[in-house]
Amino acid sequence: MEPFFTADKGFPTIRLALENILPEETTSASVKARAVYQDYVHALAARPSDDDLRPFRDKALMGDLTPPDFATMHTLFTTMKSQAQHAVTRRQPHHTCAAYAHLRSAAMLLAQILFVDNSIKEGLPGRIEDTARATVVDRLSAYIRARSATNGAALAPEDARFYATLLLLQTAFDTLFVPDEDIVSYDTASGAYRITDRYDHCIRYLALSGRKMTTASRAEHNLCYDLTTGWGDHIDRTTWDALNAHYDHTISPTIGAEHLLTTHDDRLRERMLPQVALANVRLAEEIFTRKKDGEPLKILDISAGSGAFAIDLVMACARLGLSLDEITYEGLEPSASRRRHFRANGARTMGATPFPSHWRLREGSIEQVDAHPTHYLDAVIPTVVVFSFSLHHCFPASVKRFFRNRTIKQVSHAVFVLEVSTAHGWTKPYYLWVDGERPKNFHNILNHGIWTSQTLWSEPTMAPEAQASDHEFCALQIRT
């Protein structure tokens, strides 16, 4: 199969400099805004696992990893996973959390190796100007070695070179696919949304990860599954919640610094995933097709984060001519740090169109709705329950109980589940290795319980250049 990143497929040659990764005082503001990996560079230091990972890093730099290598990497990881699971039954809760945080750190390190190996196999270095590529790797390697020594544990030269190559390739990847502007945006006065003509280009990486669905060996697939979902198998709820709390407090248990994706990289990630923004626009419209004229409707958004979906609902109301007085939004989110941004985020996005005063984001969780359904669901006012890209972050046993709860089924008008496909869950190392450290389980999407589930649509319907029929990134299910 021809490498993905070729000039024949319209990919340009990229000119990069060290300041694209490590900006200086004189670096332009636009370049600084995209240099989101500098904190990670500054925190790098040698780890005990480097000796075990080095053979795979060396082969990844050549694009030479093979199925036996993936199997060996998987064995290495499952050994660590067994040790973490042992901690669940043998140690105090804080030790258990530390064991799983260490396991998730190892998963990210292995995902980095997969990203480098696949990027080289697919020809991404060929899209970077030759001279710039060599210069940046040499200078960044030297900087990383010196900085890691300052951090108390100098990296070996070959490990520093791996990280330098990783960050160069990731920066090139972002340059190709992540725009400087929002692909999906609103006219806040009318609620109308606009999709720029770069949408199809910005989601082309889905075809890159989509190749893996048909070409990955069983060993590679098994490794990817454990790095993205399987690492949290058999985890207890206390540890699950504790890891979420670590994530929400923005200090990474992996590197002891701010999370890349909860601070500097949030905006970049949003722009890398325009399909998520467009899917939420479509979800809001789909919900309101269930509203009857003149009748109220309540929307219960579970694991709502900072309540960003409420913005899509307000804009849909403006676009469709619906009265906000007839609609109640209630978001439930266990994290106080996320809840406190609710109204500020709305004001920043919508300006003079604030959230209605009766709309709120309050403390709550899927477990609390399961335990006390009538506290959250209204038997008189039709209520729809929404999970917008959040079900895979819920504790698996809680998801099972929720969808078996007969009271919830009797009182709810419907449940809408907008989620990433399970396939794009396990292929994430090839386009988003620097994912957050929150535990996740993509099998949650398949738990229907006593509900009848129907898939309404997917987004995109087919990724550009896809090689198979199931490469949609996400899909909307309605459960009744």
pLDDT 10s digits, 130-139: 988 999 999 9
Convert the pLDDT of each residue in 48-69 to its tens digit: 999 999 999 999 999 999 999 9
**Domain-by-domain residue ranges, the chain?**
7-177+212-258, 272-479
Q: What is the pLDDT of residue 254?
A: 42
The yes-or-no verdict on residue 97 having pLDDT over 60 is yes
How far apart are the C-alpha atoms of 17 and 39, rounded to whole Å?
17
Helix axes 50-60, 67-90, angle to 10 degrees: 150
Cis before 157 (ω within 30): no
Q: What is the pLDDT of residue 351?
A: 77
Q: What is the pLDDT of residue 10?
A: 87
- Contacts by 195-198 with C-beta closer than 8 Å and gap 24+? 195/274, 195/278
Instruction: Tell me how far CA of residue 380 lies from CA of 408, 410, 413, in angstroms.
Output: 14, 12, 11
Q: What is the pLDDT of residue 190?
A: 92
Q: What percent of the chain has pLDDT over 90?
A: 60
Between 470 and 314, the more confident residue is 314
| Distance, CA of 366 to chain centre | 20
Convert the pLDDT of each residue in 234-278 to its tens digit: 788 888 888 877 765 544 444 444 444 444 456 677 788 999 999
Residue whose entry in the numeric block shows the structure tokens 């004229």: 293
Q: What is the pLDDT of residue 383?
A: 95
What confidence category does residue 28 fall into, taking pLDDT thresholds of 50, 70 and 90?
Answer: very high
Q: What is the mean predicted confidence (pLDDT) over 284-305? A: 94
**Mean of the per-residue pLDDT values of the chain:** 88
How far apart are the C-alpha atoms of 35 and 170, rounded to whole Å?
11
DSSP string, 196-226: -TTHHHHTTHHHHHHHHHHH--HHHHHHHHH
Q: What is the mean predicted confidence (pLDDT) over 335-342? A: 86
The yes-or-no verdict on residue 89 having pLDDT over 70 is no
Q: What percent of the chain has pLDDT over 70?
A: 91
- Residue pair 176/126 in contact (Cβ under 8 Å)? The answer is no
- Residue pair 376/364 in contact (Cβ under 8 Å)? The answer is yes
Q: What is the mean predicted confidence (pLDDT) over 397-416? A: 96
Convert the pLDDT of each residue in 109-155 to its tens digit: 999 999 999 999 999 999 999 988 999 999 999 999 999 999 999 99
The yes-or-no verdict on residue 27 having pLDDT over 50 is yes
Between 247 and 375, the more confident residue is 375
Give the residue from 446, 23, 460, 5 showing the smallest Cα distance to 211.
Answer: 5
Say whether domain 272-479 belongs to CATH 3.40.50.150: yes
Q: What is the mean predicted confidence (pLDDT) over 325-330? A: 95
Between 56 and 231, the more confident residue is 56
DSSP string, 53-87: HHHHHHHHTTT---HHHHHHHHHHHHHHHHHHHHH
| Lowest-confidence region among 84-93, 138-147, 445-454, 462-471 | 462-471
Convert the pLDDT of each residue in 180-228 to its tens digit: 888 999 998 899 999 999 999 999 998 888 888 888 999 999 999 999 8
> Helix H segments across 6-129?
29-34, 38-43, 50-60, 67-90, 93-121
DSSP three-state, residue 121: helix
Q: What is the mean predicted confidence (pLDDT) over 85-91? A: 64
Between 87 and 96, the more confident residue is 96
| Lowest-confidence region among 86-95, 235-244, 419-428 | 86-95
Q: What is the DSSP letter of 8?
A: G
Q: What is the pLDDT of residue 184?
A: 93
